Structure 1
């Protein structure tokens, strides 16, 4: 049986992984001829921001989330 601390650690790890390591799939719903370009730009921008945040905050988020138990 897991302790409360172990359960929190598992959930924090799972949510951080899910939030920061899952690629974002942007879809603006635009069916125009140039919609693919907007989709490409949004996806690229989202990926860059996600990587930057992940590199800066990944360990910090895990550490701060664990202080509540």
Structure 2
């Protein structure tokens, strides 16, 4: 196994940041929740139906990063 060192701030390379971005897009973006209970239900639904989102997540959560070489 090889260790891959990341720059101090690299949200595009950090897999959990990709997952949170997807979560925010699905649960928060352009959505209005009348109360906290409704919001909490949306969050719970997102994670309980996680298996149905596997195909979307496979493309987001992979280690195929574009590498830019300096000249």
Q: Structure 2 length normalisation: TM-score?
A: 0.36
Higher relative contact order (CA 8 A, sep 6+): 1
Report the structure number with the largest CA radius of gyration.
Answer: 1
Which structure is higher in helix share? 1
